Structure 1
Amino acid sequence: MGESTSRFKVEEGGFVTEAMLQELGDDYLLSLWGGVAHIGAVAMAQARPSLADPARLSATASVFCYVGHKEDEIVKFVSERLSSALGAKVVVAAGLHWDNLTASGIEQVRKNVLELVGLIIEEKKRK
Structure 2
Amino acid sequence: MPQITVDYSADLADDFDRPGFAKALHEATVEIAAAKPPACKTRFRPTEDIVVGPEAEGHSHVHVHLALLAGRTEETKARLTEAALELLRTYLKPAAGIVLHASAEVRDLDPSYRKFEG
Q: TM-score, normalised by structure 1?
A: 0.37
Bigger helix share: 2
Q: TM-score, normalised by structure 2?
A: 0.39
Q: Which gives a bigger RCO, structure 1 or 2 (Cα 8 Å, sep 6+)?
A: 2
Bigger strand share: 1
